[in-house]
Structure 1
Amino acid sequence: MSFLEIAGVSKSFGPNTVLHGFDLAVEKGEFVTFLGPSGCGKTTMLRIVAGFETASRGTVRIDGQDVTGLAPNARRIGMVFQAYALFPNMTVADNVAFGLKVAGVPKAERRTRVEDMLRLIGLPRIADRYPYQLSGGQQQRVALARAIAPRPRVLLLDEPLSALDAKIRVSLRTEIRDLQRELGITTIFVTHDQEEALSMSDRIVVMSDGRIEQVGIPFEIYNHPRTRFVASFVGTLGLLKGEVAHGGRVIIDGQEIEADAGAARPGETVTLALRPEALSLQASRERSNALRGEITSVAFLGSVVRLRARFGRDELLIDTFNDPAAPPPGHGAAVAVHFSPADVLCLGAEPGGPGAASRASATPPGLRTPIAAEV
């Protein structure tokens, strides 16, 4: 039996259904991220686990206990909100101790627990400060300490880093993950930031329109997307339209490449997708495909240089390492872009074309399992 079980949860607001039959099993100590665009239902699902929303159907169990009908304060849940929600009239120590006081923990034990929590988050000397005297990163650490001080069974994090600047976000996500591992708390993290999800999670639940698109470890989600939505939402993709030829070939901008077009027939138009890191300006035995195009932009991103190349009406992004001894090609330069046939994701033939009905249940090349019919 899993530690946290979400079974058949649906949620409707009037005629609008925002969650459709959500099923998930989370193991004890696991860090699971709900990832998806705004409005996909991820925060609603988190609030149902916390008890702040009531499911229209389905059940939530924690450590074998059905908590579906319990109030939030009876579930032993810790929650960190996007806006921190620290009490402005309380010191840091009082904020951290608040949940302990509500739970009836004796004063001496509260004081010891607060000291332990502040040491744990690396802020042992700020107990007497007020929230307005803290930076955003410090406030977020205090909110985290307040959530874990009562020793919750499950920790819920609702986009806790979105209000911080980029450098602090990167630092804090490492600290949060290290702290979660140290304490072994079962954690659900909500974000729309794919980099956060990929770098922090044991598993990722990708959501769209109130449904689970795919559940898997970061490696699987990024490299083996199961649906067109996951392929396009997680990571960066360049898209090319091509005409299917015979013998596993596709014609793009008058040039033939090797690509498995699956159920698409010769003469049909397919959409192919390639990740920037799969492309190279250098030929190799593995990268047997080559497309000739023109550089339209060059962006320096520190250790990586991102090139944009045009092939007829379509463009691809190409990521290369920054080599001071080898400047990248400039705007307007003619280049040959090389890639492996195995790196090509075929997203299927154009909708409504010949044979569309028979292709709906087919497995697109480059994707390990069938694309959902609604995608």
Structure 2
Amino acid sequence: MSFLEISNLRKAFNANSGVQHFDLAATRGEFVSFLGPSGCGKTTTLRMVAGFETPTSGSIRIDGRDVTHLRPNQRNVGMVFQSYALFPNMTVAQNVAFGLKVAKRPAAEIAQRVDEMLKIVKLPHLADRYPYQLSGGQQQRVALARALAMKPQILLLDEPLSALDAKIRVSLREEIRSLQRSLGITTIYVTHDQEEALSMSDRIVIMNEGRIEQIGTPFEIYNFPRTHFVASFVGTLNMMKGEVVDPQNGKLVVDGQEVFTTQGLDGAVAGDTRTVVLRPEAVTLNGAHSEGNTLSGTIEEVAFLGSVVRIRVRLRDNVISLDSFNSSAVAPPERGAAATVSFAPRDLQVLPHDRAA
């Protein structure tokens, strides 16, 4: 049964729709990320769940309770902001205790809960410090502890790691995910960082221009994009134009060379143009693939990146990029050399609606 239900949610700003027809059912303890470019409606949706924005239409239910028009303090949700939003004149312990004091909890309960939360985020030794005395990562841990101190039913995080440097982001996202799992709290995480969403989430909601493009597990989103936007936005992807030759048997022509896909070409007829997509890691250089597809071309670019050699092969109008692991026993290919790329039919995906065709 769904713990968080968002049904046909819509938010209009004057004549413009910030969010349109948003539907999501999240289970108890699930970690769901909203992923998309700036301005796509991620934060607006999050703020409606939090109660900071009022929906134009639609409903939000938490554990069966309709909270659509309740104030933020009536929803039992915890919010972690991108800017930390800590009180500069309060110590770490006072910041964590703030919500509990507003709720007029007994002093002994507040002290116990603050101590518990600071231990969870590994900051008990910094209880008496002020925000300006902390690093960015430490401040975000305090913000997380403050949000969790009230034992919320839902945890909402609005790009909480975007202000941190890369190394700290990786470390802190692992801590957040581990903490979320241990507490079993249903979590909505807003980000524009694909790696964050793919590595942390149970499911990902891909958003674009206020609409949901696709919902799925990281595996589904990455390997089976359903729209052009998802295919181009998530991960590195080879996108090529192919002409349908035999839709029943999945046969297409790319730059005059035949390829096959195991995916059905529903609704296609011979002569149609389709966009076909292929992940770089599915491509092998100069080795006939045991399952079938090969394309011939010329090495256009070689970039040595240490452990990986990134290679770009020009067919005719289309280009295929692939990554090869560096080996001291094998020199990288030369630019201008003839090359053959191979890949399995199952790895060649055909997008259903080609806007450019």
Extract unaligned runs of 5+ from structure 2.
Answer: none
After superposing the two structures, state which structure 1 stretch, 279-288 or 48-57, moved more: 279-288
- Residue 296 of structure 1: aligned partner: 300
Query: What does the per-residue CA deviation read over 1:201-220, in whole Å, with 9 as the maximum and x for residues that have no partner?
Result: 11111112222222211111
Task: Give unpaired runs (5+ residues) of structure 1.
Answer: 354-375
CA gap 1:208/1:337 in 2 versus in 1, 3 angstroms: same
What does 1:80-91 align with in structure 2 at a 5 Å threshold? 80-91=80-91
Return the offset for 1:176: 0.3
Task: Let me know the Cα RMSD of the aligned residues.
Answer: 2.1
After TM superposition, give the deviation of residue 243 of structure 1 in Å. 3.2
Structure 1 range deviating more: 244-253 or 17-26: 244-253
Query: How far did 1:99 drift?
Result: 1.2
Matched, 1:11 2:2: no
Distance 1:158 1:281, change over 3 A: same
Cα offset, 1:300, TM superposition: 4.1
Letter in 2 for 1:8: N
2:254 aligned partner: 252
Q: Contact 1:264 / 1:349 at 8 angstroms: preserved in 2?
A: no
Question: Aligned residue for 1:272?
Answer: 276
- The 1:261/1:150 distance shift into structure 2, 3 A limit, reads closer
What is the aligned partner in structure 1 of residue 136 from structure 2?
136
The whole-number CA distance in structure 2 between the counterparts of 1:100 and 1:350 is: 54
Q: What is the percentage of aligned positions where both structures have the same residue?
A: 63
The residue type paired with residue 54 of structure 1 is T
Matches within 5 A, 1:104-143: 104-143=104-143
CA–CA separation in structure 2 for the residues paired with 1:21 and 1:351: 22
CA offsets, 1:234-284, max 9 Å, x none? 222112223333564433333332346824433443322111111011525
Moved more, 149-158 or 113-122: 113-122
Aligned residue runs from structure 1 range 96-107, under 5 A: 96-107=96-107
Q: What is the Cα deviation at residue 348 of structure 1? A: 5.2
Which residue of structure 2 lines up, in the alignment, with residue 53 of structure 1?
53
Deviation at 1:95, TM superposition (A): 1.1
Equivalent position amino acid for 2:47 in 1: R
**1:301 Cα deviation (Å)?**
4.4
Counterpart of 2:218 in structure 1 is: 218
Look up the match of 2:153: 153
1:268–1:349 CA contact under 8 A, matched in 2:
no
Q: Is the 8 A contact 2:227 2:353 kept in 1?
A: no
1:68-87: CA deviations, max 9, x gaps?
12111111111011111111
Asked if the contact 1:261–1:270 (Cα under 8 Å) also holds between the matched residues in 2, the reply is no
TM-fit CA distance, 1:302: 4.9
Displacement, 1:352?
8.5
Structure 2 partner of 1:307: 311
Larger mean CA deviation between 317-326 and 59-68 belongs to 317-326
Structure 2 equivalent of residue 39 of structure 1: 39
Report the CA distance between 1:186 and its aligned residue: 0.8
Residue of structure 2 in register with 1:325 after alignment: 329
Counterparts in 2 of 1:180 and 1:233: CA distance versus 1, 3 Å: same
Q: CA deviation at 1:53?
A: 0.1
Equivalent residue runs for 1:142-221 within 5 Å: 142-221=142-221
SS state of the match for residue 126, structure 2? coil
Which residue of structure 1 lines up, in the alignment, with residue 285 of structure 2? 281
SS of structure 1 residue aligned to 2:240? strand
Q: In 1, Cα distance between the equivalents of 2:315 and 2:34?
A: 36
Task: Summarize the Cα distance change of 1:245–1:21 in structure 2 as closer, same or farther, 3 Å threshold.
Answer: closer
After superposition, the C-alpha distances for 1:126-185 in whole angstroms (9 at most, x for unaligned) are 111111111111111111111111111110000111111111111111110000001111
Of the structure 1 ranges 15-24 and 341-350, higher mean CA displacement relative to structure 2 is found in: 341-350
Letter in 1 for 2:143: A
Q: Which amino acid in the other structure matches residue 280 of structure 1? A: T
TM-score (norm 2): 0.92
Checking the alignment, whether the CA contact within 8 Å between 1:287 and 1:338 is kept in structure 2 is no
By how many angstroms is 1:66 displaced? 1.2
Q: Secondary structure at the match of 1:122?
A: coil
| 2:341 partner amino acid | V
Instruction: Give the Cα–Cα distance (whole angstroms) in 1 for the partners of residues 354 and 54 of structure 2.
Output: 41
Q: Distance in 2 between matches of 1:253 and 1:180?
A: 49
Q: What is the number of equivalent residue pairs in this alignment?
A: 353
